[in-house]
Structure 1
Amino acid sequence: MLKDFKPVLGILLRFIVVYVVLLLAYQFYLNEFAQLGLDLFSRFVAKQVMDVQNFMGYPTQLYDDIKGEQVYFKVKGVYATRMVEGCNAVSVMILFASFVFAFYKGRKTFFFVLGGLVLLYVMNVLRIVGLNIVMTDHKQYGKVAHDFIFPAAIYGTVMILWLLWIKFFALKK
């Protein structure tokens, strides 16, 4: 009877192992920045968001709050939003990579994960840019945008990538 579940258990075990290892590695990384404020990757994302917004005609400056472990976006002279560690989408990227590696298919797994991570990074930067624009120009829609629309965009991208992986790669012989 257990033979019937062996493939499913293998996939589940790979997912759990990859997820836990990546999560612990990320937590170890975050612990290194506990006293320095926002971690380097989150700062890099904030800088990219600032660059995109400046390019789009939304003059943006960043202000550090080291004690609060956050960076504030000042857009068009107004403090629009703040960037905290959870805004960098690393936890979403870990979840994405863990699922794809659970259905490991050789070298193409690494290429798909790499491409997916790049896409998720770009989507996340655009998500934060969009949220800053909404909070600057249409503040009345800020809560809906932050709580529903923009999370749906990032998680929707993950779901589409997972479906593509399963349909076109994982289930192919």
Structure 2
Amino acid sequence: MKALIIKYKSVLKFILTFLVVYISLSICYKFYLDYSKDSKYYPDYITNLVARQSVDLIDFMGYNAKIIPHPDEASMKLIINDKYLARIIEGCNSISVIILFVSFIMAFSGKPKTTFMYLLAGSVLIYTANLLRIVILSIGLYHYPWRKEILHTVIFPGIIYGMVFLLWVVWVNRFSNMIKKNE
């Protein structure tokens, strides 16, 4: 057993680090969501911010967009040109994807400054891509409502998770200490 642990030490370290970071950040996020229920920003600050920024970008694209709190669930109703198109829920704010990204990068950590800068840049990139995803998806739903399923469940999740995967590949191949140790 000891020989297996020694042989797979780097794999075990990766798995343990990933799980500790992922579970810790997920618990912190859960506390944030629970605390946010009494906030003036409905349904929570980050989701509200994403909804407002999405509306600003949609308006910039030449549409008349607005958001209103959903009366029956914790979400914001997105309306373009007086047509209710979608709801922006907590899952649309990109935090869960960022937590997954951060956990992986921490599990393959590199130099502290490089790791921090990559985490910051990657998180901003994911957040921005998510905003653009919501905007393009909303405009797509406005013009092509019959394409809702493929747009929402296949194309746009594929784009955001594909980008995260590419960020991981770049990290592992360019900055991670794990690869350097094994060379």
Shorter-chain-normalised TM-score: which range? over 0.9
Partner of 1:80: helix, strand, or coil?
A: strand
* Contact 1:19 1:98 (C-alpha < 8 Å) held by counterparts: yes
Whole-Å separation in 1 of the counterparts to 2:62 and 2:174: 40
The equivalent position to 2:80 in structure 1, one of 54, 75, 79, is 75
CA contact (8 A) 1:38 1:66 kept: no
Deviation digits for residues 135-172 of structure 1 (CA, Å, limit 9, x no counterpart): 11111111110010000011001000000000111124
- Aligned-residue offset at 1:12: 1.1
In structure 2, the partner of 1:7 is: 10
Q: Distance in 2 between matches of 1:143 and 1:169?
A: 37
2:32 to 8, 21, 29: 29
User: 2:129 is matched with which residue?
Assistant: 123
- TM-score normalised by the chain length of structure 1: 0.96
Q: Equivalent residue of 1:32, what SS?
A: helix
Distance 1:67 1:114 in 2: 35
Write the distance in 1 (CA, Å) between the matches of 2:6 and 2:113.
Answer: 27
Note the 1:41-56 alignment, pairs <5 A: 41-56=46-61
Q: Which runs of 4+ in 1 moved over 2 A?
A: 33-37
> What is aligned with 2:156?
150
Aligned-residue Cα RMSD (Å) equals: 1.3
* Cα shift at 1:78: 0.3
Counterpart contact for 1:131–1:150, Cα < 8 Å = yes
Q: Which deviations, in whole Å up to 9, do the C-alpha atoms of 1:67-109 show, x marking residues without a partner?
A: 5111011101100111010111111110000000001112211
Unaligned runs of 5+ in 2: none
TM-score (norm 2): 0.91
Tell me how far apart the structure 2 counterparts of residues 86 and 66 of structure 1 sit (CA, whole Å). Answer: 18
Mark the structure with the bigger radius of gyration: 2
TM-superposed CA distance for 1:33, in Å, is 2.2
**Structure 2 counterparts to residues 52-71 of structure 1, below 5 A:** 52-65=57-70, 67-71=72-76
Which AA in structure 2 matches 1:13? L
| Alpha-carbon separation, structure 2, partners of 1:172 and 1:118 | 27
Q: 2:96 aligns with which of 87, 91, 96?
A: 91
Between the aligned residues of both structures, percent identity stands at: 38
